[in-house]
Amino acid sequence: MTTLGWVDYAVMLLYFAFVLGIGAALRRYVRTSEDFFLSGRSIPAWVTGLAFISANLGAQEVIGMGASGAKYGIATSHFYWIGAIPAMVFIGLFMMPFYYGSRARSVPEYLKLRFDEKTRALNAVSFAVMTVFSSGISLYAMGKLLHLLLGWSFDVSILIAAGVVLAYIFLGGLTSAIYNEVLQFFLIVLGFAPLVFLGLRAVGGWSGLVARLADHATAGGFAPGAYTHSWAFMGHASSNPVGVEWFGLVMGLGFVLSFGYWCTDFLVVQRAMAANSMTAARRTPLIAAFPKMLFPFLVILPGMLALVVSPTSGVRAAAPAVSSTSTTSPTSRASGAPSAGIVPPKVDAHGAPLRDAAGGVVLDYDLATPMLLLHFFPAGLLGLGLTALLASFMSGMAGNVTAFNTVWTYDLYQSYVRPGAPDAHYLAMGRFATVAGVAISIAAAYVAASFNNIMDFLQLVFAFVNAPLFATFALGMFWKRTTGHGAFAGLVAGTLAAAVHHGLSLPAGAAVGVKGGYLGVVATFPSELAQTFWTAIVAWVTCFVVTILVSLATKARAPDELRGLVYGLTPRPVDTAVPWYERPVALAVVVLTVTVLLNLVFF
């Protein structure tokens, strides 16, 4: 257990003072419900762009991607270079004109405008449940981490963090959340950059890391470059640590899950909708794509480094509960050693390492990045690193809470409980929903404890809820014949298909239950991620086909009713008012070019 110095606490207090101060300073600008939920549509593109990426930069990103880096190596970059950037470009160029131009206040409200009330209700309810779950996962991860590393009380940790998030959103609404997300963005980047620098320096740079991970890969039965090449070993699921072949990766992650999340999730879309113009709204995800494509170096590399760094190279002795007795073991699964690098084993209630069915020690990958932080950061910088971790938890939670309070107030409460009330009433309801959202998140934190990897769990949730949704939006925005009945039937069928596929399949080595197989094991996948990707593909295809069939069998709306909502019936956005280098198309070309280059460099 690590004891913090006064300087570390001073850094944390300084951060808390500023985030609360921002909320207090913005309180006087919140006069209407639109100020509270949409920032009065007055924020410039660079701010909404950084908030767009920061709202996604929660615990699942910093901790989960570090964990995946330790587990899968540089192939984790697929979550960025194919699993995020193309979708971010697509929403900026093609979908934002409908979201922003339709003047919808939320993604579910767009569904109401484009389709009908029942489609909006289905999306609003499922989204609200998903946001509080995600928020609860952030809280759970934070409480567990602070308890394990610093001995802080789980309950007190999550109550304080949730209380601070509640306070600044309650005071300043979405604007406060966005401003704090920009602060949190810089804090996370500047807090983790020295960690990567010190880690690489300790292992002899990138070439040293490649050499050490080659030993790790061969000991695990893979080719030497399996942890340091992103595409070279994707030909077959058994030849890479991810356990996925290229088609499942490209279709499941790169198309269905990625587009389902980035193009339809109100959590991120809400930031773009707060932009001060149509061009700014379209530029928001494109500006966000620049830091996003570089994040693998910030959040994945620490996990890879933690796997191979020498336990004796740090500034303090490893904590007893997570100490390592083996410095040379490339993989605990292969050798049975208690840990790999400084990644500790998972332990049971008595402190004994957990073992899998084959007798190998199960590593606690979620601790890879935090352990590296304790390993290299002295007092002072440790406070900065821990505060950056706190910031990631809080930004993720704030993103979920602001999306939840908007969907609840506009799409559920105003639509079904009390329509036609004065604006002040909805403003008050928004603040109440903020309190309720935080309270439900705290409750959700206590049910998020049974998964080995946070990212795997979130991908599973997205597969059920988001994967069919992109088929609905794609058809709704680009095929005017799509009907409300078709959209609703497609969404229901897609979600059911996801549940059925998950219930009939199981990852290798997993027990029947929450991991799948609860309807009988018909198919076995090499890894949990492979199962998740294919579940998403099945859900998307089902939704796509059912939506088309039902739409063709039901009456379409008149084209006049769909202007501003459907491609082909809406004038193309014109960006001549800004210099060429600020236009969305120019930004998109640069983003895609750099992304292709990154894929080639790490091929």
Binding site for other proteins (CB under 8 A): 7, 10-11, 14-15, 18, 21-22, 25-26, 28-29, 31-32, 34-35, 40-44, 47, 100-101, 103, 175, 179, 182-183, 186-187, 190, 194, 198, 201-202, 275-279, 313-316, 376-381, 384, 570-575, 577
Instruction: Between 57 and 550, name the residue whose CB sits nearer to other proteins.
Output: 57
CA distances (Å), origin 105, targets 37, 217, 475 = 8, 49, 21
Instruction: Between 371 and 497, name the residue whose CB sits nearer to other proteins.
Output: 371
Shortest Cβ distance from residue 164 to other proteins (Å)? 15
Instruction: Between 183 and 496, name the residue whose CB sits nearer to other proteins.
Output: 183
Torsion angle, alpha carbons of 489, 492, 496, 497, to 10 = 50
Shortest Cβ distance from residue 479 to other proteins (Å)? 21
In DSSP notation, 286-341 reads HHHHHHHHHHIIIIIHHHHHHHHS-TTSSSSPPPGGG--S-SS-S-HHHH--S-BT
Shortest Cβ distance from residue 93 to other proteins (Å)? 13
Instruction: Between 52 and 154, name the residue whose CB sits nearer to other proteins.
Output: 52
Shortest Cβ distance from residue 185 to other proteins (Å)? 9
The encoded tokens of residue 599 equal: 């894929």
Shortest Cβ distance from residue 527 to other proteins (Å)? 35
Instruction: Between 373 and 445, name the residue whose CB sits nearer to other proteins.
Output: 373
Nearest to 314 by CA among 378, 236, 226: 378
Shortest Cβ distance from residue 475 to other proteins (Å)? 23
The encoded tokens of residue 203 equal: 């292992």
> In which residue are the tokens 């959040």 written?
299
Nearest to 173 by CA among 53, 59, 47, 32: 32
Shortest Cβ distance from residue 81 to other proteins (Å)? 27
Instruction: Between 320 and 359, name the residue whose CB sits nearer to other proteins.
Output: 320
The encoded tokens of residue 586 equal: 């120019």
Instruction: Between 186 and 206, name the residue whose CB sits nearer to other proteins.
Output: 186
DSSP state of 226: T
Task: Give the HSE-up count for residue 429: Cα atoms under 13 Å, Cβ half-sphere.
Answer: 21
Taking every pair of Cα atoms in the chain, the longest distance, rounded to a whole number of angstroms, is 71
**Is beta strand 505-507 parallel, antiparallel or unpaired with respect to 523-525?**
parallel
Shortest Cβ distance from residue 47 to other proteins (Å)? 6
Instruction: Between 161 and 361, name the residue whose CB sits nearer to other proteins.
Output: 161
Shortest Cβ distance from residue 174 to other proteins (Å)? 12
Rounded CA-CA distance 435/127 in Å is 18
Burial letters 393-423, b for 16+ CB under 10 A, else e: bbbbbbbbbbbbbbbbbbbbbbbeeeeeeee
Q: Which amino acid is at 405?
A: N
Instruction: Between 41 and 557, name the residue whose CB sits nearer to other proteins.
Output: 41
Task: Evaluate whether 232 touches 62 at the Cβ level (below 8 Å).
Answer: no
Instruction: Between 134 and 324, name the residue whose CB sits nearer to other proteins.
Output: 324
Rounded CA-CA distance 55/203 in Å is 32
Q: Which spans in 362-380 are helix H?
A: 368-376
Shortest Cβ distance from residue 204 to other proteins (Å)? 11
Torsion angle, alpha carbons of 166, 167, 173, 176, to 10 = -110
Instruction: Between 101 and 311, name the residue whose CB sits nearer to other proteins.
Output: 101
Rounded CA-CA distance 485/136 in Å is 33
Shortest Cβ distance from residue 11 to other proteins (Å)? 6
Instruction: Between 26 and 318, name the residue whose CB sits nearer to other proteins.
Output: 26
> In which residue are the tokens 């932009």 written?
275
Rounded CA-CA distance 427/402 in Å is 13
Shortest Cβ distance from residue 190 to other proteins (Å)? 6
